[in-house]
Amino acid sequence: MKTSSFFGGVIGVALSFFHAIEAQDFATHGTYTHPDTGITFYTSSEANGTITGGGELSMVSWGGFTFGMALPPSALTVDTHEYIGLIIGSTPTGKGGWSGIVHGDKQSAAMPNHLMLLAWPTGVGDQIATSFRYSSAYQPPTAYKGSANLTQLYSQVNSTNWVLVYRCQNCFIFDDPSQSTFNTSTSQAKSILQGWAQSSVAPTDPKNPMSSFDQHNNGMGEFVVQVQSAMQASYAVWATKTATGPIATGTATATATFTPIPVPTATSYDYIVVGAGAGGIPMADKLSAAGKSVLLIEKGVASSARWGGTIRPENGWLDGQNLTWFDIPGECNRIWNGGTTGVACTDTDQMAGCILGGGTAVNAGLWWKPNPSDWDVNFPAGWKSSDMAAATKRVFSRIPGTDHPSMDGIRYLQDGFNVITTGLASANWTSVTANDVPEKKNRTYAHAPHMFSNGERGGPMATYLLSTSDRNNFHLWLNTSVEKINRVGGHATSLNVVPTNNGGRIGTVQLTPGTGRVVVSAGAFGTPKLLFRSGIGPADQLQVVQGTEGTTMINQSSWIHLPVGFGLSDHFNTDTVVSHPNVSYYDWPAAWLTPNETDRTNYITKRSGPLAQAAPNIGPIMWEEIKGPDGIVRHMQWQARVEGSNGIPNGNSMTLSLYLGRGEVSRGRATISKGLSMIVSELPYGDPNDLATVATAIDNMVNALKTIPNITWNLPPPGVSGADYLKTVDLTYANIGARRANHWMGTAKMGTDSALVGNGTSVVDTNCKVYGTDNIFVADASIFPGMVTTNPSALIVTASEHASDLILALPYPQTGHGGHHGGSEE
C-alpha cells in the first residue's frame, strides 16, 4: 500500500467518520482496516494543512497525521495494559522528521509524567526507529526504563509519509522506577486521552532510536480514544503477527556531566536566600544592604547578558550585542515557542522559569502597582495596604514601569487596542493610567504597564541585583540546586547543594552558627519541594520523600507537619476570541530567527519599535468587579492580545483572556512524586460560584463590545451565553494549559493560625517564619493567602521588600535550636 494513497482515503473514503466527542478532542475519528495486516483501528486524524503559530492543539499537520488503536474485546470490563497501534507520520520536506504519541489517561495527556512513544524513518528502506521516553517537566524527554515493550508488526516508508503498525505491551502502565507508578484503566475510564506531536526536522541520528531531536514544529494536540470503538474481536489473532526485516537499534545519548565547584569548608553566611526571582533578588539586596553576609543561590543559568547570559538566536542576528532573548521585550514569548531547553524548570509539570530572574526573566513583564484591596482582603494584620505603602513606594521608585516602552515614545501595533476600546468607551467603561490609580479596577481599562526600562526588560535584575552585586558581603551562585535544609529540631544549620550545570556548587554550605537564617524564595512549586525534602510538610508528602531518599532524609521524629502544598491558587483563565478586519497579526515567533529587518535595526540601534514591546500586542487590559452568587465580590482582569487560539487561526483574531482573581475561592494542591518532581495533583479551579461569576463576566464583555462595527465573536459563538460556553471548555487536567495563567501562589500560606495548633491552616507567620522553626523563612508567591487582581510580579517584589524589614527586625533565638518538638497534623 502506498502511504500517500492512505492519506487520500483518510479524507475521503477509507474511514467511517465520527464527530469530535469532547471539547478537548482535537481530531477527526473513524475506523480503518489496514490492507496489509488486516487489522482494524479506531483512528484519530489530523488533516494535511498549514501550521500557524506554535501549532498547539492543531487540527492539521503538514502532510497529515493519523494514530490508530485496536484493543482486546474485553477492554471495557477487564483492564488491558496493551494495544495494537497504527501511526501514519509525515515527512513533507522529504528530509525526514519524527512523530510522537503521549499515552495519557482519563485526566490528561500532557507531556510530563506520561509514557511517550517516538518514531521516525531511519532512511534505510522501510525501517522505522522507535523508542519510549518520558519527562517529568516540559523538557527534552529521557529514556524510559519501565516495562513497556513494542513489537513492530508492519512498516513502510515513502518520500513524504510512513506507516508503522505495532503491538504495545504494558503501555498503559507508567512504571519508570524513578517515578510514581500509575495505571490507565480502560474499564473505568471508558475513554482515554492521547497526545500527539510531529516535527518536519529529522532527529540528530535517524538510525539511532535513542537519538536526540528538536522540539515539534508540525503541530501537536490531544484526542480521545473511545474504548468501545477501539475494541476488536480478532485482537488475539492480530497480536501474534510479526514484522519482517531488520529493526533499528541504538543507545541513548550520554547523560551530561557537570564540572562542579566544591563548597568552601571554612565559610558561613548570615543569610542564605534560595531562588533568584521576584522574591529572592529584592530580599538579598535588602539583607546585604543591612550589612549581613548574604549568599543568593539560583539553580538556573544566567539569563540577561548583563549577568553573563548567552542564550541567543541560533542564526546569530544578536551576536556581538550585549543582549539575550531575555533582554528583548518582543522575544518574551520564546519560552512558549521552542525556548524551554535550559530555561524551563525540569522538576514540575507546569511551565516555570528556572533561570536567573525566575518568572521576571521570562514573562511578559507586566508591572502593576498593587490594588490596595489585594492586601486588605487577603492578608492578615501587619500586611494591610497601609502597612505595605512604604514598601510599595520603594519598589516603584526603583522600578516605576512604563506603558510606552519603545524609546521613541511611540506605541506600536495598536490596532487591537483601538478596536476593543472603541466598544468599551461606548459601554461607559473608563480609560485610566493604571499605576496612577491602582485602586480603580472596576469597569476600567488601560494600556499595560511593564517593568521595562531603556527599551530592555529591566526589572529586579537591572535594579536590586545590580545594587547588591556591588557589595563585598554579597555572593551569587548560579547553576546550583539546594537539595535540602539541614536542621536540628526547628533550627537550620546548613544546606546541601548540587550542580545543575558547569560551575555549580557541590557540598554543604554553612549558616553562621546560632544566628544564620534561610529565606526560601523558590516559587510556588520550588519552595514546597525544598520544604518537603527538609522534613516540613504533610505526612503523606514526607513519606514520599522518605521512600526515595531513605535514611538520608531527616529522622521522622523531627518532621514538622504543616499543610505545605495545600492552598494552591492561580488566576483561573478562560480564553475568548474575537475577529475584526482592522486587526492584523504580527509574527512574533518568526522574530526569533527572522525578525522584520526594519524592526530589527530600530531595536538594535535605537531600542525602539515593536521589539521594544511585549509580544503579542498585549492590550487593552480591562477590569470588572462582580458579586458572585455566594455574596463574594470577585475581581476580573481581561487581557487582550492579537493572536488566535483554541482553533481560531491568527490573522485578524484577538484572544481576550479572562483571569478570575481576587475573591476566587477554588484551591488546589501541589504534591511531590517519587522522582521528586512537583505536580499539580488537585486543580485550583472549578468552584461553582467562581464559574457562575466568570459566566457573568463573559456575558458582560460580549454586551460591552456589541457596538463595535464588524466585530465577530468566535468564542463564545453568537447567541451562546457565558454559562453555556463554559460547559464547552474542559475543566480537566487534560486542558490545564488552557485554564491556567501560570500565576501560581499559596502553597506556604501566611496566617496567624499556626497549623501546628488545633485547626490552624497556615505555614508561615506574619514575619514569614515557618511555624515550628526559628530561622527558616519563606518570601515568594507561596505565602499569598489568596489570588490578587493583576499579574503578580510587582506584588511579589513588594512582599519581599516588606518581609525583609520584618525579618531583619526579629531578635535571634535564645537557644539556637528552635521550638519544634514534633508537631502535629490536625
* Residues classed as catalytic: 743
Residue 453 dihedral angles phi and psi, to the nearest 5°: -150, 140
Cα–Cα distance, 692 to 186 (Å, whole number): 33
Three-state secondary structure call for residue 308: coil
- Cα dihedral sign for 108, 110, 115, 120? positive
Which amino acid, residue 7?
Answer: F
Closest to 138 (Cα-Cα) out of 303, 353, 361 = 353
Residue 515: CB atoms within 10 A of its CB come to 14
In terms of Cβ atoms closer than 10 Å to its own Cβ (0-12, 13-18, 19+), residue 666 is buried
Residues 6+ apart with CB under 8 A from 362: 303, 326, 332, 334, 335, 343, 353, 355
Which helix (H) or strand (E) is 119 found in, with range? strand 115-121
Are 92 and 69 contacting, i.e. CB atoms less than 8 angstroms apart? no
Q: What is the number of residues in the chain?
A: 826
- Cα dihedral sign for 589, 590, 592, 597? negative
Q: What angle do CA 216, 222, 227 make, to 5 degrees?
A: 135
Residue that has been written with the C-alpha cell 490528561 in this structure:
108
C-alpha R_g of the chain: 27
Residue 519 dihedral angles phi and psi, to the nearest 5°: -115, 115
Q: What angle do CA 683, 685, 686 make, to 5 degrees?
A: 115
Side-chain-side CA neighbours of 277 within 13 Å: the count stands at: 34
Which residues is 98 bridged to in the sheet? 199
Three-state secondary structure call for residue 266: coil
Cα–Cα distance, 286 to 779 (Å, whole number): 13
DSSP character for 184?
-
241-271 burial, b at 16+ Cβ within 10 Å, e below that, comes to bebeeeebeeeeeeeeeeebbebeeeebbbb
Residues 6+ apart with CB under 8 A from 133: 116, 117, 118, 141, 142, 143, 144
Residue that has been written with the C-alpha cell 492552598 in this structure:
567
Which residues is 625 bridged to in the sheet? 635
Three-state secondary structure call for residue 334: helix
DSSP character for 242?
-
